[in-house]
Amino acid sequence: MNISFNSSLVGEQRVLKIFRKLLPEISEMQRVVREGGFEDARASLNLPLTRRWANESQRLAKESAIANASNLLVIGIGGSNLGTIAVQQAVLGKNYNLTARRKVFYLDTVDPDYTASTLEFVKSELKRGKKAVVNVISKSGSTTETISLFNVVLSQLKPYDSELEKMIVVTTNRDSALWNYAMKKGLRALEIPKMVGGRYSVLSNVGLFPLAFLGVNVRALLAGAREMVERAVSKNQRFNLPAKLAAVQYAHFLSGKMIVNLFLFGNDFESVGKWYRQLVGESLGKEFNLVGKRVETGLTPIVSVGTTDLHSVGQLYLGGPNDKFSIFVKTNKWRSKLRVKKQAEFEKLVRDIGGKSLGEIMDAVFDGVLRTYAKRKRPFVRVELDGKTER
Amino acid sequence: MNISFNSSLVGEQRVLKIFRKLLPEISEMQRVVREGGFEDARASLNLPLTRRWANESQRLAKESAIANASNLLVIGIGGSNLGTIAVQQAVLGKNYNLTARRKVFYLDTVDPDYTASTLEFVKSELKRGKKAVVNVISKSGSTTETISLFNVVLSQLKPYDSELEKMIVVTTNRDSALWNYAMKKGLRALEIPKMVGGRYSVLSNVGLFPLAFLGVNVRALLAGAREMVERAVSKNQRFNLPAKLAAVQYAHFLSGKMIVNLFLFGNDFESVGKWYRQLVGESLGKEFNLVGKRVETGLTPIVSVGTTDLHSVGQLYLGGPNDKFSIFVKTNKWRSKLRVKKQAEFEKLVRDIGGKSLGEIMDAVFDGVLRTYAKRKRPFVRVELDGKTER
């Protein structure tokens, strides 16, 4: 991964000044990583540094009853599913269910129609003798949507699988009411460390079990995260890309740019954007500051998908109010090499696309848009990923 | 449909004053409707008032070669697919492809991986003797993404269906390069009236053909739109809900609320939000005003889905900066009546959900959120739909 700050429109000195203010927090982060464990509010930093949860999740995913299932229902909302969907779609593709041997469905809200159509499909699978894993995830164990859906899923599917309870995996805080329910009923249960905040919990059992079940390489995922933790706890401003990015965003926030636009080039990244909305929205959107003073502040995160959104909101972004800071993300490697065939009659429709791969056309549009942003003095950073893999 | 303005935080007098400024535009709209035809920049108003395009699209959708196909590939971006996806998902459901007899795929951007996985599926269908309709839609006929994808789809699928060209439907401006290509090759072609802007073209052949093919009742859709045109050209402020909503939004824009949040309760509405982003982004996001002065202005539209987003960005919306105007949308009728089973042990997890339908739980959360918004003086309007039908 690489981030280019060339068009961030914040000077080196300014970034350095803000970065210095972050040093006490970085020291605390270093301490948490050094001490290990999950007893601190920053405990999510330690998720990639232990094998415990990955071992637990992988072991369960490999148990024959579970491993033989062909459907996974993930019941959870917010911190209980957004990170998982983000990883799953980025790594396995947005079209995953279309051809997958194991399909996955996320039930997060009490939408009757969406729930019913999903369950109709799963019922048809159960009728054909296929099995479904039901992973119900709630940190507190008392999320209204999750518990309502859990109840509905159980009562709807049980008639089609008398052994459904063996296929239930409950993921929750140890000792929550849901945990106790699972213990009483003899259900499989996975723990979420209490001090790991929901939105930062994807690398706990919350994300690791469903991802392992779907065939995502969770060890590689943790290895990638470890590299980023290493950067995030560094006091070297050049190496600590997360802190540098935060400093740039903060500078724009101070000058009134209250919107941050995560502009992702690639369909499979859309759900990364949805998770990002939660990370920014919940972490920075605050009624009160840390000492209890009413501040009503925060950045509003928005998500755009390229090139699609150039044809919908592109004109607003480039010509409208200059009130946004943008983070452009692209991948340097696509799985497919699909290419436009060179044909004289197509050259008359659009010139210079014949013989190019779709990835090259995407890159050309990406570069063109960034040039226009730079020319119009709309601030942005450019993030390049080495590929759409776990690591 | 009903809109409640009770919590819009804009006084009646203020709305009336802005509404009066809209009267000259409303007169022009009345003139266009009276005169009929498609020669005016406001021509999209007349789309619901003619049967011509619906007849054309329906006739084609019913032709046996087309009607027997089990897959539809819609190739188009921005104004060429956003409205169609919005209607399709709202009426047929977001899970539509899961169990549908006729599957639909939207190819809009040059994402190699998404395109490849979609085509792999369609190829497997063609191999099994199933047929696919390829509807390529570009108003100008020279959209880079659309033409690139059209080329790739042709070269990838032709080996699996020697008669593929008979299954191509080109939708474009008469006399565009794409139109001429279609004529030369003897492809089926549908016209888009030149003066109908892309983002307003869903009720032309752009949307009507794919929707008719998928079994959407396009006559009912047009009937619903006619009712809204009737309101939109009315000089009665109480009856003209669109103008009244515009006036309220404008008042908030003047006081610095530059973000408008379309908060949709129901998964099937998410794509309505994506279309709405284009409508607001392109129609209001402008570098220059009508007399050529640089203004760099516009509202930034954002889309939220309830109850999902209450668990991701809800805290930002309620506690963060008071810089948004929100439009809450709910339906008064769900297709499914799924209900939470009354069980003592579930009452211990979340109280008072036993015996309730999922729709009732959704309504309860919806009402609770709106009460909190009102208490915190965050401005909003409340839209209630009579159901998720075409009309």
B346: nearest CB among A113, A147, A348: A147
Would you state the structure tokens that stand for residue B5, as one six-digit string? 């303005």
- Whole-angstrom Cα distance, residue A281 to residue A287? 12
Q: How crowded is residue A35: how many other Cβ atoms within 10 Å of its Cβ?
A: 10
Q: Distance (Å, rounded) from C-alpha B126 to C-alpha A36?
A: 55
Q: Is B337 exposed, middle or buried (0-12, 13-18, 19+ CB in 10 A)?
A: exposed
Give the DSSP per-residue string, A63-82.
Answer: SHHHHT--EEEEE--GGGTH
Phi and psi angles of residue A149, each rounded to the nearest 5 degrees, phi first: -70, -40
Asked if A156 and B117 come within 8 Å (Cβ–Cβ), the reply is no
Are A322 and B296 inside 8 Å of each other by CB?
A: yes
Q: Which residues of A touch B356 (CB under 8 A)?
A: 148
| The pair of three-digit structure tokens given for residue B361, joined into one six-digit string | 């739980």
- B386 Cα to chain A: minimum distance (Å): 15
**What chain A residue is nearest to B296 in terms of C-alpha separation?**
A320
Give the pairing of strands A132-137 and A168-173.
parallel
- Give residue B119's pLDDT: 98
DSSP of B260-311: EEEEEESGGGHHHHHHHHHHHHHHH-EEE-TTS-EEEE--EEEEEEETGGGG
Neighbour-count burial of B51, counting CB atoms closer than 10 A to its CB (0-12 exposed, 13-18 middle, 19+ buried)? exposed
CA gap B133, B119 in Å, rounded: 13
Tokens of B383: 């839209």
For A46, phi then psi, to 5°, come to -85, -5
Locate the chain B residue with the closest alpha carbon to A138.
B349
In a mutagenesis test of the B interface, which of A97, A113, A365 is the best target, namely the one with the most B β-carbons within 10 Å? A113
Decide if B348 and A181 are in contact by the 8 Å CB cutoff: yes
Average pLDDT over residues B278-292: 96
The hierarchical CATH code for the domain A43-216 is: 3.40.50.10490
Cβ neighbours of B217 (radius 10 Å): 15
CATH code for the part of the protein at B2-26+236-385? 3.40.50.10490
Cβ–Cβ of A315/B116 closer than 8 Å? Answer: no
Cis omega (within 30 of 0) for bond into A307: yes
Show the tokens assigned to B145.
């993404």
Mean pLDDT of B341-366: 95
Neighbours of B332 (CB within 10 A): 13
Q: Is the dihedral of CA A282, A288, A294, A297 positive or negative?
A: negative
Q: Does the distance separating the beta carbons of B110 and A358 come in below 8 Å?
A: yes
Domain boundaries defined on chain B: 2-26+236-385, 43-216
The answer to whether the Cβ–Cβ distance between B115 and A338 falls below 8 Å is: yes
Task: Let me know the angle formed at the C-alpha of A200 by A59 and B325, rounded to the nearest 5 degrees.
Answer: 140
Residue A142 and residue B54: Cα distance in Å, rounded?
50
Percent of chain B with pLDDT strictly greater than 70: 100
Angle formed by the axes of helices B205-213 and B218-232, to 10°?
140
In angstroms, the CA A81 to CA A16 distance is 36
pLDDT of residue B85: 98
Closest CA to B262 of B361, B84, B381: B381
CB contact under 8 A, A94 and B109: no
Q: Residue A334 has what pLDDT? A: 97
E strand intervals along chain A: 2-4, 71-75, 103-107, 132-137, 168-173, 188-192, 259-265, 286-288, 294-297, 300-306, 324-331, 380-385
Contact list in B for residue A77 (CB cut-off 8 A) is 307-308, 311
**CB atoms B285 and A320 under 8 Å:** yes
Contacts B284 to A, Cβ<8 Å: 316, 320
Q: From the list B79, B184, B338, which residue is nearest A112 (CB)?
A: B338
Smallest Cα–Cα separation from A216: which of A326, A81, A86? A86
Contact A95 B118 (CB under 8 A): yes
Spans in chain A with pLDDT lower than 50:
none
A159/A127 Cα distance (integer angstroms): 10
CA distance A137 to A106: 11
Q: What's the residue count for chain A?
A: 391
Closest-CA residue of chain B to A387: B113
d(CA A86, CA A158): 30
Q: Are both A2-26+236-385 and A43-216 of the same fold?
A: yes
CA of A236 vs chain B CAs: smallest distance (Å): 31
| C-alpha span between B359 and B365 (Å, rounded) | 10
pLDDT of residue A216: 98
Is the separation of the CB atoms in A117 and B93 below 8 Å?
A: yes
Band (pLDDT 50/70/90 cuts) for residue B182 is very high
pLDDT value for B94? 96
Identify which of B95, B343, B348 has the shortest CB distance to residue A114. Answer: B95
Q: What are phi and psi of B101, to 5 degrees?
A: -70, -40
Rounded Cα–Cα distance for residues B145 and A384 (Å): 22
Bridge pairing between strands A2-4 and A380-385: antiparallel
Q: Which of B73, B81, B117 to mutate to test the interface with A (most CBs of A within 10 A)?
A: B117
Residue A3's φ and ψ, nearest 5 degrees, are: -120, 130
How far is residue B316 from each of residues A177, A296, B366, measured CA to CA in Å?
Answer: 28, 9, 17
The span from the CA of B18 to the CA of B22, in Å, is 7
Q: B-chain residues within 8 Å CB-CB of A253?
A: none
Alpha carbon distance B324, B388 (integer Å): 27
Cβ-Cβ contacts under 8 Å for B254 (sequence gap 6 or more)? none
Nearest residue on chain B to A313, alpha-carbon basis: B281
How far apart are alpha carbons B276 and B327 in whole angstroms?
Answer: 11
| Interface predicted TM-score (ipTM) of this complex, two decimals | 0.97
pLDDT at B304: 98
Do residues A300 and B320 make contact, with C-beta atoms less than 8 angstroms apart? yes
pLDDT digits (tens, 9 = 90+) for B43-76: 999 999 999 999 999 999 999 999 999 999 999 9
Distance CA A36, CA A33 (A): 5
